Amino acid sequence: MRVLFKYHLVVLIVGILFSTKTVDAQFVIPELPPIQQQTSVYDYIDLLTPQQKNDLRSKLVRYSDTTSTQIVVAIIGTTNGDDISMVGANWGEKWGIGQADEDNGILILLAKDDRTIDINTGYGIEYRITDRMAERIINNYMIPEFKSGNYYEGLDLGTDVIFQMLQGEFVEEDQPDNSNYLSRNWDGIIILAVILFFFLLIIIGVIAGKKGYKGGSGWDTVTHSSSGSYRSYGGSSGSSGSSYSGGSSSFGGGFGGGSFGGGGASGSW
């Protein structure tokens, strides 16, 4: 009787495990949309309002029309336990986001229920937006908005930072700007120079007094002063505010066959 009970218990446990595995199925990447429907925003759970989707879509499409770099945002509920970075890389590769000859595609994948976000970069973008830079975008600009439930604001701000990075206008916060060192410390240099100048005058006055020099005090021995100018190499880089033309909500020629290798970063909150 005890053996029979153990047998039924084992069968029950195995059945539960198999049923759980069936429910927790692997995430299936959506099929590539027809070329006329290939655009920049795919919200599969209606997380954004129609106006927000339209604004974000239009901005990203205009950027693509101007630079040929295709940035796609995909919003889903869950990856069903799959690693979001792998899903993003496989998704970008399957759809061929970006141009085949440049591999300049970027896929931003948001899984709301999992509370995870991923930025996956094509091969041609990896050297322009490094993994560390992608991590900064996620942690410093996107996730803080997501924590407050501002999903559109996080995506909008994150894509703006991506634009700046691609255009070379973004400087990492902890990256020392050595080129601007002289400009930042010029006041201190001037004060030090003035102190040394007056100290030198005092010494000259003392020496002149001891040797019986005539012709006035040490203050009068200085007949001229020189002034110099400096050049600040750091400067301030204002945003060029790239203007885009057109208002199409889909990529003109569709996805171009770009390739992905897993570059980028992911985060959770």
Determine the pLDDT at residue 216: 42
- Phi (first) and psi of residue 100, to 5 degrees: -60, -35
How much helix, strand and coil, in percent to the nearest 5, is found in the chain?
Answer: 45, 15, 40
pLDDT category at 196 given cuts 50, 70, 90 is: confident
Mean pLDDT of 166-176: 65
**Which of 47-56, 121-130, 189-198 is predicted with the least confidence, judged by mean pLDDT?**
189-198
User: For all residues of the chain together, what is the average pLDDT?
Assistant: 76
Per-residue pLDDT for 54 more than 60?
A: yes
Higher-pLDDT residue of 232, 25:
25
Query: For 96-138, how does the pLDDT look when each residue is reduced to its tens digit (9 = 90+)?
Result: 999 998 999 999 999 999 999 999 999 999 989 999 999 999 9
Determine the pLDDT at residue 78: 97
Question: Whole-model pTM?
Answer: 0.64
For residue 175, CA distances in Å to 116, 126, 133, 171 come to 27, 19, 11, 7
For residue 211, CA distances in Å to 17, 110, 177, 197, 224 come to 103, 83, 51, 21, 23
